[in-house]
Amino acid sequence: MYSESDLQAAVDAKILTPEAALAFRSHIASVRAAPGADEESFRLVTGFNDIFVSIAAVILLLAVGWIGASIHPALGGAFVAGSAWFLAEYFTRKRRMALPSIVLVLAFSGGVFAAMVGLLVKHGDSLFGGPLDDTVGAALFGTMALATAGATWLHWKRFMVPITVAAGTAALAATAVALILAVTGMSGSDGNLPMALVLIAGVGIFALAMWWDRSDRARQTRRSDVAFWLHLLAAPMIAHPIFHLLGVTRGDDIGSAAAVMVLGIYVLFGLVALAVDRRALLVSALAYVLFAMTQLFREFGAVELNVALTAFVIGSALLLLSAFWQNARAVVVGFLPANLADQLPATVRPVSPIPAS
Distance, in Å, from the CA atom of 129 to the CA atom of 239, rounded to the nearest integer, reads: 40
Distance, in Å, from the CA atom of 227 to the CA atom of 277, rounded to the nearest integer, reads: 11
Question: In this structure, are 274 and 299 located in the same domain?
Answer: yes
DSSP code for 329: H
pLDDT value at position 216?
Answer: 86
pLDDT digits (tens, 9 = 90+) for 18-65: 777 777 766 665 555 555 445 566 667 677 889 999 999 999 999 999
Question: In this structure, are 156 and 175 located in the same domain?
Answer: yes
pLDDT digits (tens, 9 = 90+) for 265-293: 889 999 999 999 998 888 888 888 887 77
Asked if residues 88 and 39 have their Cβ atoms less than 8 Å apart, the reply is: no
Closest CA relative to residue 157, chosen from 205, 82, 92 = 92
Query: Coil, strand, or helix at residue 218?
Result: coil
Domain count, the chain: 3
Query: 84 Cβ partners below 8 Å, 6+ apart?
Result: 57, 61, 104, 105, 107, 108, 111
Closest CA relative to residue 186, chosen from 233, 218, 139, 238 = 139
Q: Classify residue 285: in a domain, yes or no.
A: yes
Q: Classify residue 229: in a domain, yes or no.
A: yes
Q: Classify residue 166: in a domain, yes or no.
A: yes
Report CA 295 to chain centroid distance, whole Å: 29
Distance, in Å, from the CA atom of 239 to the CA atom of 255, rounded to the nearest integer, reads: 19
Distance, in Å, from the CA atom of 29 to the CA atom of 39, rounded to the nearest integer, reads: 9
Domain boundary (73, 92, 127) is at 127
Residue 68 belongs to what domain range? 34-127
pLDDT digits (tens, 9 = 90+) for 308-343: 878 888 889 889 988 889 889 989 998 899 888 888
Distance, in Å, from the CA atom of 248 to the CA atom of 195, rounded to the nearest integer, reads: 13
The pLDDT confidence band at residue 355, using thresholds 50, 70 and 90, is very low
Question: In this structure, are 171 and 273 located in the same domain?
Answer: no
Asked if residues 277 and 329 have their Cβ atoms less than 8 Å apart, the reply is: yes
Domain boundary (127, 153, 183) is at 127
pLDDT value at position 309?
Answer: 78
* Confidence (pTM): 0.81
Question: In this structure, are 251 and 193 located in the same domain?
Answer: no
Question: In this structure, are 217 and 275 located in the same domain?
Answer: no
